[in-house]
Chains A and B, each alone.
Chain A
Amino acid sequence: MNHSVSIEIGSQIIMLLAALMLVLQLLLVVQRMLLINIRLFALQSLMLTAIATVVAYYYNATHVYIVAVLTLVGKVIFLPWLLNRLVRRINIVQEIEPLFNAPTSMLICGGLTLLGYLVARPFTTLHKLGNNTLAIAITLLLTGFFLMINRRKAISQVLALLTIENGVMLAAVALTTYGMPLVVELGIFFDVMVAVMVLGILVYRIRESFDSMDTSKLDQLKG
């Protein structure tokens, strides 16, 4: 097969997967059942794994394969399992009414997507594999912020943080052509795992001492 053709196919696969990540993100924004949210996040991470695998295949880069495996083990299997367990233990299944209702959230996220494409425009070229996914990475970051403001349950905020992280990793894999040095990827992976565990401890403690997981009740400290 001609190399330039194969790069083109790779680029399209990556684009498709990245678009799916965005769709899953939008579903996360409107879905209020926590267990389904966790599954959506796991699926989104699976797309990221697939993107990393495609990049690794086309550039024949061993350390990107390692990144793919780490993402699969950490974000597709381990973290969703951990969060699932936490949700069952604190026995809360559904997010309460968010700040903005579903149609308004959708509109805002549409605007954020537009903004993402505007910011990414100067960097979008078709010469390199996956450079055009930058807009999606920035959109994931922005909608992640929105998700964090919009939701009030502590667990939803953890999920929002993880989707922001997915956006950054998408940029790292796609933008820099072959990912970052392995030691950095390993460090980031380790930090994310520990962060979620620490957040899990906090969620549990907050639930215990406030009898609620609603972060809008965390309002005693002022001035």
Chain B
Amino acid sequence: MELMLLLIVPLAAGLLCFATNSRAGWERLNLGAFAVVAGLAFKVAGDVAAQGTVTALGGFLRADALSALVLALIGFVSLVCSIYAVGYFRRDESAGKITRAQLRRYYVLTPLFVGAMLLVPLADNLGVMWVAIESTTLASVLLVTFYNQKTSFEAGWKYIIIGSVGISLALFGTVFTYYAGVGLPGLETHGGMNWSVLVGVADKLNPQAMRLAFILVLLGYGTKAGLAPMHTWKPDAYAEAPVPAAALLGAGFINCAIYAIMRFDVLAEKCLGHAFPGKLLAGFGVASILVAVPFVLVQRNFRRLLAYSSIDHAGIMVAGLGFGGKLGAMGAALHMLFHGVTKPLMFFCAGNVQQHFGTPYFRKVHGVMHTLPWTGGLFLVATLAVTGTPPFSLFQSEFNILSGALAADRGWMAFLFIGGVVTIFAGFLVHMSKLSLGVPAQPGPRVAECPWKLSAMAIVAVAVIGLGFWLPGPLYELVRQTTQIIGGAP
């Protein structure tokens, strides 16, 4: 029942927003819907942690620990984004930057976008999962072009064209996976594309077809996750979309794409052994980290910096999956959790700075701490957290992945991994310390910060700092079970 409600609530909220014609109405509908979604997602996560897999609609919807982890993350991210969005768009509207029609577009499309995201981890059928991922692209492209500038259309065009090409590769890979199982008993019926069915017979799948399928799927969903060299849409889309939508993409949707790769990786590893998929994943992962390095170091625009950070983190997760073993798999699961919780804070702080100073360029903004003390301070906290500085939680997951690499005897990969991650940390610290600390260009008075935006940031900050010291029991249980699923351990 909860699984069905998770899909119905956002859909209904989107349609109701379409029929509503007041800002207060849109805001209330969105806030209410996302509060319900977050509550349901947490409840499902708790149920799965306590009792194992739940299903609905005769197995059409299925949530195991991996799904539940992604669901909980989407629930959390979409709730804080909806709180932040209220303050963000009120300010945009009072500054005369957006019209009523644009506001409506945001509040109608966002629930639909989140609804499609929620279907990704819930669908057992790999074809339906594909449809859900394609739907997220379609629901979000008009959010990327939200501001109707020339640059927004450029970003939107790249986003949908590169995304669609990638996703058609993923569909081809899905078809091949289906083909790999043709002729096996039990697959001739409707369950032939269901992950839960395929995983049971994965060792009997046609290995040649599975190999090709995995390459295609990794390229396809890797494009959506923003792995190098298919990442080029990401900086544009993240920098042009309004901040709440960018945060949904960068902290919410990225998990869906990585989730899809994880599902196929499990099938591929059962069918082909760890070596082949592991090498591919580790290669793409480490390459993404290394590609992000120079762009982080010389970056002039802090919104684009976030996108390169996101490419880096997608790389870290995929690399962890590729190193494999218990450590690598656990690192990947933990990293997904911690990254999803931490990243919204970066986006929110960047949004505050951009709205206050009216520019996304580093050279025009110094000493944020003096005018926006909360934003400036939290921006530093978020920077330290997102680059994996202890005691923040991302240090733990990155350390796990590094240990995984060494345990799998991949010395060179480990070397490149740690080199990339440390250089990115240094680059971030230089940029952000100038932005937050430093002397302001024109000394202005301290400004009162918007309570909506501040409360969204406070919720995320509490979660980020809390997770550095304490991983709640059910969450630990989910991560443990997820590790078993993606690590293939008994």
Q: A residues engaging B (CB < 8 A)?
A: 119, 122-123, 141, 145, 148, 154, 157, 161, 164-165, 167-168, 171-172, 175-177, 180-181, 183-184, 187-188, 190-191, 194-195, 198-199, 201-202, 205-206, 209-210, 215, 218-221, 223
Contact = CB atoms under 8 A, between A and B. Distances in A.
Contacts of A220: 150-151, 154
Given A172-B175, A218-B158, A194 B138 contact: yes
A198 B141 contact: yes
Interface string B65-89: 0000000000000000000000000
A57 B28 CA distance: 53
Given A188-B131, A221-B154, A198 B178 contact: no
A177 B192 CA distance: 13
Greatest chain A CB density within 10 A among B125, B171, B176 is at: B171
A187 B125 CA distance: 12
A199 B168 contact: no
A206 B135 CA distance: 22
Contact of B168 (A154, A164, A215, A223): A164
Contact of A181 (B142, B158, B169, B192): B192
Given A184-B125, A202-B156, A223-B301, A195 B168 contact: no
| Main SS class of interface, B | helix
B142 A198 contact: yes
Given A148-B161, A184-B125, 11 more contacts: A141-B172, A165-B168, A168-B168, A181-B193, A194-B135, A195-B134, A199-B160, A205-B148, A210-B150, A220-B150, A220-B154
A191 B141 CA distance: 13
Contact of B178 (A154, A180, A183): A180
A223 B171 contact: no
B157 A218 contact: yes
B307 to A, nearest CB: 10
A168 B127 CA distance: 13
A223 B300 contact: yes
23 contacts: A119-B212, A148-B165, A161-B168, A168-B175, A171-B172, A175-B179, A176-B175, A176-B182, A180-B193, A181-B125, A181-B193, A184-B128, A187-B131, A191-B135, A195-B164, A198-B138, A205-B153, A209-B149, A218-B157, A221-B151, A221-B239, A223-B299, A223-B300
B127 A187 contact: yes
A23 B193 CA distance: 32
B304 A223 contact: yes
Nearest to A165: B168
Interface in B124-143: 125, 127-128, 130-131, 134-135, 137-138, 141-142
Nearest to A128: B182
A92 to B, nearest CB: 16
A122 B210 CA distance: 12
B151 A202 contact: no
A161 B137 CA distance: 15
A218 B165 CA distance: 18
Interface of B: 125, 127-128, 130-131, 134-135, 137-138, 141-142, 145, 148-151, 153-158, 160-161, 164-165, 168-169, 171-172, 175-176, 178-179, 182, 190, 192-193, 208-209, 212, 235-236, 239-240, 295, 298-301, 304
B125 A183 contact: yes
B165 A145 contact: yes
Contacts of A161: 161, 164-165, 168
Most-contacted residue by chain B among A172, A180, A184 (CB, 10 A) = A184
A116 to B, nearest CB: 12
Contacts of B141: 198, 202
B145 A205 contact: yes
Closest 10 CB pairs of A and B: A184-B127, A187-B131, A218-B154, A191-B134, A221-B236, A172-B175, A164-B168, A122-B208, A175-B179, A206-B153
A205 B141 CA distance: 13
Contacts of A119: 212
Contacts of A180: 127, 175, 178, 193
Nearest to A199: B160
A119 B216 CA distance: 12
A168 B172 contact: yes
A214 B159 CA distance: 16
Nearest to A210: B150
B323 to A, nearest CB: 29
B131 A191 contact: yes
Contacts of B145: 202, 205
A118 to B, nearest CB: 12
A205 B145 CA distance: 10
A122 B208 CA distance: 8
Contacts of B134: 188, 191, 195
A161 B171 CA distance: 13
Contact of A171 (B125, B142, B175): B175
Given A202-B157, A220-B151, A223-B299, A181 B164 contact: no
A215 B131 contact: no
Contacts of A202: 141, 145, 153, 156-157, 160
A134 B138 CA distance: 29
A174 to B, nearest CB: 10
A164 B169 CA distance: 9
Contacts of A168: 168, 171-172, 175
Given A168-B171, A177-B182, A180-B175, A195 B160 contact: yes
Given A191-B134, A221-B155, A223-B301, A164 B208 contact: no
A210 B295 CA distance: 28
A167 B153 CA distance: 28
A143 B138 CA distance: 24
Nearest to A141: B172
B145 to A, nearest CB: 7
A194 B141 CA distance: 12
A209 B127 contact: no
